[in-house]
């Protein structure tokens, strides 16, 4: 490890729907972390500021903070609401300005991106996709999120990508299930997130036998998602993580379904060896969102 890496301390915040992870350190590792429940913005902010103030006393001054946030979040630096959470249904968080409050409270620059964009950045820098400029990071858990890098930078424009809310082609075993997304019903998140699996089949994948149609439907949806990403953003590597993906055979099935949906069209992805090498589990040692938040912080300096 070089002197540069040990002489700079950063703060990282990965703000998710159910928990917020804070760390002090750098992208190579946290010296100390804190996990708090995502309740209302005010009490979360108080715990975040208290942690970082005490952590700086123990470890030294931080240079900047990176915030990897659940979305939707305003990523336009020219906007008066830069960094604000926007249209979330999460109680109390609509229009919340966690970025601004942390910047004011700590007196430090605070960079912000989506949690999944930050994770894609981390996987490209330190994880499964090292050396790749264009990376897609899919997380399948309480929702379905997709972060993207292109040319080494995270992707945003007027808003940021919300690939989890695209509408897939329905799997035959799923006929009659309306989906659970409050906005779209049967988007990817509404059909294939952890809560959607439980709503459709009465249990999580861990609770369902391996010949249950839920497994085939899940692989089909994620294969469609990977194929769509390959056809739209041409990633060099797709990382798939999240609690629902903790099964090696599911990842293998997703690769096979991706190839079936591409039907030989994207020929660079046609071989099983390429699919196995380029559609993988995450590689970061720490939570990719937290590692990405450190990288965002470093980018502010």
- Does residue 256 interact with Zn ion by CB under 5 A? no
Give the integer Cα–Cα distance in Å for 179 and 174: 9
Q: At what angle do helices 98-106 and 41-59 cross, to 10 degrees?
A: 40
Judged by beta carbon, residue 189 or residue 286, the one nearer Zn ion is 189
- Does residue 181 interact with Zn ion by CB under 5 A? yes
Report, in Å, the least distance between residue 168 CB and Zn ion: 11
Distance of CA 260 to the CA centre of its chain: 26
Judged by beta carbon, residue 120 or residue 187, the one nearer Zn ion is 187
Of the listed pieces 26-34, 123-131, 186-194, 267-275, which binds Zn ion according to CB under 5 A?
A: 186-194
How far are the Cα atoms of 44, 101, 102, 171 from residue 109, in angstroms, in the given order?
Answer: 19, 11, 9, 46
- Does residue 28 interact with Zn ion by CB under 5 A? no
Report, in Å, the least distance between residue 208 CB and Zn ion: 23
Q: Name, in order, each residue with C-beta under 8 angstroms of 3's C-beta and a sequence gap of 6 or more.
A: none
Of the listed pieces 86-94, 179-187, 225-233, 256-264, which binds Zn ion according to CB under 5 A?
A: 179-187
- Does residue 165 interact with Zn ion by CB under 5 A? yes
- Does residue 195 interact with Zn ion by CB under 5 A? no
Of the listed pieces 175-183, 231-239, 267-275, 291-299, which binds Zn ion according to CB under 5 A?
A: 175-183
**Chain positions contacting Zn ion, by CB under 5 A:** 165, 181, 183-184, 187, 189
């Amino acid at each position: 490890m070089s002197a540069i890496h040990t002489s700079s301390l950063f703060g990282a915040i990965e703000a998710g729907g159910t928990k917020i992870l804070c760390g002090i350190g750098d992208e190579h590792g946290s010296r100390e972390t804190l996990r708090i429940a995502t309740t209302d913005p005010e009490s979360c902010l108080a715990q975040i500021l208290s942690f970082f103030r005490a952590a700086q006393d123990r470890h030294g001054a931080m240079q900047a903070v990176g915030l990897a946030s659940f979305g939707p979040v305003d990523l336009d630096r020219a906007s008066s609401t830069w960094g604000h959470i926007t249209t979330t249904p999460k109680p109390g968080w609509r229009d919340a300005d966690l970025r601004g409050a942390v910047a004011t409270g700590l007196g430090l620059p605070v960079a912000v991106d989506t949690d999944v964009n930050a994770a894609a950045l981390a996987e490209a820098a330190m994880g499964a996709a090292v050396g790749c400029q264009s990376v897609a990071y899919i997380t399948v858990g309480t929702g379905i999120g997709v972060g993207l890098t292109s040319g080494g930078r995270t992707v945003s424009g007027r808003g940021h990508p919300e690939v989890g809310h695209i509408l897939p082609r329905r799997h035959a075993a799923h006929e009659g299930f309306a989906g659970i997304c409050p906005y779209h019903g049967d988007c990817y998140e509404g059909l294939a997130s952890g809560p959607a699996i439980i709503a459709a089949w009465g249990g999580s994948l861990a609770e369902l036998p391996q010949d249950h149609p839920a497994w085939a439907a899940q692989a089909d949806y994620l294969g469609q998602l990977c194929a769509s990403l390959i056809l739209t953003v041409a990633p060099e590597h797709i990382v798939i993580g999240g609690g629902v993906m903790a099964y090696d055979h599911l990842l293998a099935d997703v690769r096979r379904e991706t190839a079936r949906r591409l039907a030989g069209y994207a020929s660079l992805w046609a071989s099983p060896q390429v699919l196995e090498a380029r559609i993988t589990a995450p590689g970061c040692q720490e939570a990719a969102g937290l590692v990405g938040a450190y990288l965002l912080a470093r980018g502010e300096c």
